[in-house]
Structure 1
């Protein structure tokens, strides 16, 4: 009886050790996001649009700069002829104009960056949606992004641990704030 019981226990151990655990393979892919942005037609069109806009705006500013340079050159010639008081007043005016031109140039660059940034952000959002839909349609578990910024562009919802991480971070932040408030009250 003991031998049978030992053989039975031993066979159960062998059977449980022989069970193979099923390893699921993930279907993954990647996208070179830099190449995507460089080679997509919509991205090229946006870039061309803002290059043209910069050229038009730059031409207007260049005309102002040329007039300024011309006046600055004539200022140097006329400074000796018209005296020190005239030179100081005209020099001050030219300096103020130069500052205004610099501000105008900075404002133009900021405007172009802001406008193009909005369009590029919108483009990136639409590309992410396309990638997500493609991933779902083709049965991918993960689609990674490479290039300037590497990130996961698509993952099945079941692999998303964002809620757990956010809860953990928020709980830690809340408890740290409570400790700070308690230590401040105790002082």
Structure 2
């Protein structure tokens, strides 16, 4: 009998605790990650810096290609006055230069991809860190990220804190 009473009290306390936990209102919000990434000044700056680097790299490749094309045209003009040995040597030289340019171009493309990944990940980390601090500061239990790929299919706009987070991010970035 005493065992049943203790068990009943424990069960009642457990049920009361479970109901209290269930009934407690959780602070929940979401941010539109696409809007944050498109409008965060840190991302805009990173994108401009990346595009500037790509422009320089492309100009280098274009310059190398232009020089190679000029060299090819000169060879085509002078070919008739060259010996077979000179022709063979010049053609080999042109092929080697063309291959080197191709290798350089491929290396630049790989470097560009890595640079873009690093820049993007750096910004994503900054945004995530800010959102964590924002959530702690404002007492949120959960802040979800909606990005259009199905993480959150629907959410009431009352829970959207994107603009407030974006403003805070941009203010922090400019200061």
Fold shared, TM-score > 0.5 on shorter chain: yes
Aligned position for 2:165: none
SS state at 1:98 partner: helix
TM-superposed CA distance for 1:117, in Å, is 2.9
Give the Cα separation in 1 of the matches to 2:148 and 2:57.
30
TM score, norm. by length of structure 1: 0.60
TM-superposed CA distance for 1:91, in Å, is 1.5
Return the structure number with greater relative CO, CA threshold 8 A, min gap 6: 2
Aligned in 2, Cα 1:50/1:90: closer, same or farther, shift over 3 Å?
A: same
Following TM superposition, the consecutive aligned residue runs of length 4 or more in structure 1 with deviations greater than 4 angstroms are: 148-152
Matches within 5 A, 1:121-136: 121-136=121-136
C-alpha RMSD of matched pairs (Å):
2.9
Aligned position for 1:91: 91
TM-superposed CA distance for 1:50, in Å, is 1.5
TM-superposed CA distance for 1:58, in Å, is 2.4
Give the Cα separation in 2 of the matches to 1:83 and 1:146.
69
Work out which of the two has the higher radius of gyration on C-alpha atoms and give 1 or 2. 1
Give the Cα separation in 2 of the matches to 1:142 and 1:95.
60
TM-superposed CA distance for 1:111, in Å, is 2.7
Deviation sequence 1:55-98 (CA, Å, 0-9, x none): 22322332221110111223333334425433322121111101
TM-superposed CA distance for 1:122, in Å, is 2.3
| Structure 1 position 79 matched with structure 2 position 79 | yes
TM score, norm. by length of structure 2: 0.63
